Each structure stands twice: as structure tokens, then as C-alpha cells.
Structure 1
């Protein structure tokens, strides 16, 4: 039996149904159903976790970004917003299966949506990657602040300050993974979960997408072909994304550690271990390719 959040009770009539929705690691998602004036209503509910504010998130920034994205048709409309969560339109659709994520027509849909987002007016709130990384690091318990981790952080801050591609400032989502994309029954693609959305470096979105979709070289090349077509003048290359790849991995690593130390969930421990291995490998490869320390 689900104990409904207070904001859902406030929003709904006396009789309603609240069902959990799978997906997502850091928040609680539900489908809300009720009848009102003889009509069926269905909504998506996102209840913020206890760590929402600890992760330097802000409901006003999130809602402003999602509303802006919804106005151009790439995010669900927000129906109501509260301190504890938000209520949005329900998108009747599905997430792509693994094989569907690599199909050319779907890669084009992704590239078109991302290019569209990056060309929208930038939000007032800007996500400073260095500040966010340092914020995560400061959240860590002393036992997790190793010398190696601190050195990795300093190296990544140096990358951000000196090695990233220029002129890539835009409206960014900052959490592009397969579970945050949903395609409806009319084959229209939507992007969900805007808690990290802000003005930022657009290569962050593309690199995150490449990592979480686990694409191989052909899929990455195809995505950039379509992205650069729909975002004229962008001219993004795979080589420039190598630098951002290390930055995104550092963000992922620190996020995993912060989430793990909250309740010692084994899911986050596994993700932490995977990310720890990945960032060591990526730093070594970046140095070997002579993109660093020059």
C-alpha cells in the first residue's frame, strides 16, 4: 500500500489511484489516475528524494527549464509544482529497447531533439561544472575523500578550464540517458526529468548520451552527422568529445559516491566501482593521446 505524498492528496479528488512507475535512481515516480466531472485524468508524478536539495537542485530552476522545453514540444507539460515534487502530463508511450536505440531512424530523432534543445534560449540558471563537482566532493564523508580521488578532481577541473571546445554554450539537460527518453504512440519523442537542466556546455549532453546509450563508433558518427545537420554551425567532432568524456565520468563518479553514502545501497556501490575503473582508463587514454599536459 502506497502512502501518497501530501502534494498528491492536495492535487487530487478524494478518490484516486497512485501506482509506482519503474525507472530512475534518485526520485520516486508514480502514475496518478482519477475521475473528475465524468472525465478520466492521468498524470505523471515525480516525488523528490531526500537527497534532492543535497545534490544542489532547485525545483524552481527545474520547472522553469521543463516549461520552456514543453513550449517547444520536447518535454511533458507541468500541471502543478510543489516543494516536494511535480505533476506532469502523462505520456502514453515507451522507452526504446536496446536494439531500437541503435536504429538509424531513432538516432536521427535523438539528434534532432538534442540539436533543437541546444538552440533554444538559454535558461537564467547556469550549471557551472567545476562548482557542481566541488559541491559533490564536499558532500563526501572523510573516509571517501582519498588522495587519488582528489587528484582526479583537480585534473578534471583543469580540463574544464583549459581544454573544452569553445562556443558550445546552450540550453542543456545534463542527464540524457535512455530512461529519460520516451516515444509516444504517434512516434513523437519526449525528454523527461529536468532536475539538472540549465545553461551549460552542450558537449556534456552529447557525451552523457553516448555513455549511457553505450554506442559504438558507427552510432556516434551517425548521431553527430544528424546533430550537425540540425544544428548548423555546431561542427561537433568525436575528438572534442574525448575531453568532455572525462568530465562527465568524474561527475558520474562523485554522484554515485554521494548517493551510496546516503543508505549504502548496493546499486550505487556497483555504479561507483564501474565509474572508478572507467575514469582511470579515460584519463590514461586522454594523456596517451597527447591532449593533456601540453
Structure 2
């Protein structure tokens, strides 16, 4: 059964109404999955159609548990149905909402909201049962590409080793706390009353909190001023040199990891080649920059996004 047909079947089952049709006219975004807003019985919902190959990349049983924990903490939107086998999910739509990418990711108000949600996540007493280890995830993605008979960029192995060696030498201390691990601005939702939510907990797991900080900076293309503001607000003061190096390392690691993720989508037939190339070119530039000089600034790395 095709995924669209399965979503259709689940909608009829969940709402006990065989007349419901899967309506894809209101696309709500997504990279890993495709999300659609539907009006059902006078109430609006977000219906998630999982993307290709995501069953090999994401453990939906773990996501389901972590999704509930995030909801209990008041971070997440309300989920009414979660299929752990297919990854199909139905959530209550947050009325009059927009994501932070549509607003201003760099404004002080936004940065405070993002910092607050990250700190609430990272300080949670409810730990996730799984860990998010980016090197293990990368290895898993690489194995999938090999099974798809895909090719890597010619300098992939060399630059990957360059990054790993740099991190081995420069990252001396990490901690493990509940993390979202995909803190792109599109995953922060602001409702009509100004309340902010953090959605899409697919990659959540125990990790170093600086991974989430690095992700928001990189994916939001923060200005130098915004970077300074976020770092001080989150850490309470400007971080020490060792923490800054960790953030920079994670920024580079994220481009490497999500580039390989994008390669899987490309080799499975989705239109991800441009996205893949963009992330790899940025990885190439930034891994060379930080390994040549650990003083290369976060702001310069973000400018390398352009």
C-alpha cells in the first residue's frame, strides 16, 4: 500500500468516518516528512505523511515516547494519533500560528523564546531512554547509502577524518541531557497569543545541549549580534573558549550529517540534490576554516552559508 493510501486509511479509522479524504491542498512544510493542515469535523489538524526511507532512519517507537514527554513538559503540540509502524501522525493544529522562520529568527524576543524552550528541554528531569550520537547516526546513514549503491563526494572521507580528528583534539568535555537535536527555526511555532512551541521530536534523544544551540544558529543564519544575544541568554554569560569550539564543531558536524541524510533522500528518488550540494559545500568551507584556525568565528561560519 502506498503511503498516501495508508494515510487515507488511518484518517478514516481515527475519526471513524469513511467519507474523509486525505486533503493535501494546505501544505504545512517539512523535509523529513510532509505535513498537511486538514479541517475535520470543524477542527483543524496537522497530518504527517512520512518521507521516503524515513523508516530506516528514525525509530518511531522512541519518537512516540519522546513526543509524549515533550507534550507533558508543555513544549509540544497535542498529538491525537501516532502510528509507530508507519510514522503517520495526527496533531491538533496550533491556531493562528507561524513558525519562527516566517517571523524573525534574529529578534531579541524570538531568541529569548528559543533559549527558554531549549533550557526547559535540557533541564528536564524526564530523561529520554535513547541517546542521539551523531557519529553513530552518520555511520547508519552511510550504510544505507552503500546499500543503495550510492556514491560519496571525492573528498568526503578525507574531510570527515579532518573533522573527527579536530573534535577528538579539541572537545574535552560533554554532558548528556534531553535534547531535540533538530532545532531549525521551522520547528519553533508561535501561536496567536505569543506562546512558543517546539515540535517534531523525531531526532530527540540524550545529547550535549550545545548541539541544539549550534543547530539554531546555523539553520537560522543568525547575525553576529543575534549569535551574541542567544549565547549570553542561554548560557548566562558568554561561553568559554572550549564551549565555543564545541559549538563550531557541532555546526560543521551537522552539515556533514544532514548532507548524508539528504543523499539518502536523493538516491531514493526525492528532489534533494541541491540541498545536498549546498550543505556539503558549506561543510567543505567550514571544516577547512576551523581546522586551520580554531579562532575562526561562529559569525564567519554562518556567513559561509551565503
Give the TM interval when normalised to the shorter protein: 0.7 to 0.9
Rounded to whole Å, the distance in 1 between the matches of 2:239 and 2:177 is 11
Q: Is the 8 A contact 1:63 1:78 kept in 2?
A: no
Distance 1:62 1:25, change over 3 A: same
Aligned residues: CA RMSD:
2.5
> Is 2:93 the counterpart of 1:90?
yes
Match of 1:184 in 2: 191
Q: Within 5 Å, give how 1:169-208 maps onto structure 2.
A: 169-208=176-215
Rounded to whole Å, the distance in 1 between the matches of 2:162 and 2:127 is 28
Distance 1:116 1:275, change over 3 A: same
Match of 1:68 in 2: 69
* TM-score (norm: length of structure 2): 0.83
Q: Is the 8 A contact 1:16 1:32 kept in 2?
A: no
Distance 1:41 1:17, change over 3 A: farther
Distance 1:97 1:207, change over 3 A: closer
Match of 1:285 in 2: 289
> Is 2:106 the counterpart of 1:106?
no
Rounded to whole Å, the distance in 1 between the matches of 2:270 and 2:93 is 32
Q: Within 5 Å, give how 1:1-294 maps onto structure 2.
A: 4-14=7-17, 15-16=19-20, 18-20=22-24, 21-35=27-41, 40-55=42-57, 57-82=58-83, 83-84=85-86, 85-92=88-95, 93-96=97-100, 100-120=104-124, 121-141=126-146, 142-164=149-171, 166-229=173-236, 237-263=243-269, 265=271, 268-290=272-294
Q: Is the 8 A contact 1:168 1:203 kept in 2?
A: no
Dislocated runs of 4+, deviation >6 Å: 232-236
Alpha-carbon deviations, 1:256-293, whole Å to 9, x = none? 2111111151xx111111112111111111112158xx
Rounded to whole Å, the distance in 2 between the matches of 1:264 and 1:167 is 36
Distance 1:30 1:99, change over 3 A: closer
Q: What is the CA-CA distance between 1:119 and the residue it aligns to?
A: 1.0
Q: Is the 8 A contact 1:17 1:34 kept in 2?
A: no
Distance 1:44 1:151, change over 3 A: same
- How many residue pairs align between the two structures? 282
Q: What is the CA-CA distance between 1:66 and the residue it aligns to?
A: 1.2
Alpha-carbon deviations, 1:175-203, whole Å to 9, x = none? 11122111011111011111111111221
- For structure 2, the residue ranges without an aligned partner over 5 or more in a row are 296-306
- For structure 1, the residue ranges without an aligned partner over 5 or more in a row are none
